[in-house]
Amino acid sequence: MIRKKVCMLGAFAVGKTSLVERFVKSLFSERYQTSLGVKIDKKSLLVDEQPLELILWDLAGEDEFVSLRLPYLRGAAGLLLVVDGTRPETLDIVLALHDKAIAEIGEVPFALLINKADLTEGWHIDPCDIDRLVARGWTALETSAKTGRGVEEAFETLGKEMLE
């Protein structure tokens, strides 16, 4: 059984927590996120028949008042970058966070999750921006906190990348 630390990054209120909550094993209350700045969950999955345990460090969303606690990133083997499809600025924020993370811990496998995919009509992120990222080799997945679409695949994709 391999265990990997995965950090979830995103702007404030992009729905990171609600996105994964039905897929993970939780022990601690969400209150920790506001107090400690992190909430920890566990996701068990099989990648090519191999059991993998992801220890998810769901870091508090960054905004103008809260900044990322960089020490939490240490030892992360992967990153989940979450953006809100209806708020284009969250993409910029997550890109900035990604840069910070790289500066702190170096390059690690990551996946970009574009959340609230069920509100496709209300999307304001320019698909071209996404395409440009994909063209740079990024993994971008559309997910829905409401239906859970794409979340499991996101874990598997990241898991696979981390094990390679």
> Which residues sit at the interface with another protein, rule CB under 8 A?
1-5, 25, 27-28, 32, 36-38, 40-42, 49-50, 53, 55, 57, 69, 71-72, 74-77, 162
Q: How far is the CB of 40 from another protein (least distance, A)?
A: 5
Distance CA 143, CA 85 (A): 10
Q: 51 and 1 in contact (C-beta within 8 Å)?
A: yes
Quick one: which of 95, 63, 86 has its CA closest to 146?
A: 86
Distance CA 155, CA 132 (A): 22
Q: How far is the CB of 61 from another protein (least distance, A)?
A: 16
- Nearest to another protein of 35, 147 (CB atom): 35
- Nearest to another protein of 68, 151 (CB atom): 68
- Nearest to another protein of 91, 108 (CB atom): 108
Tokens (6 digits) for 157: 């994709």
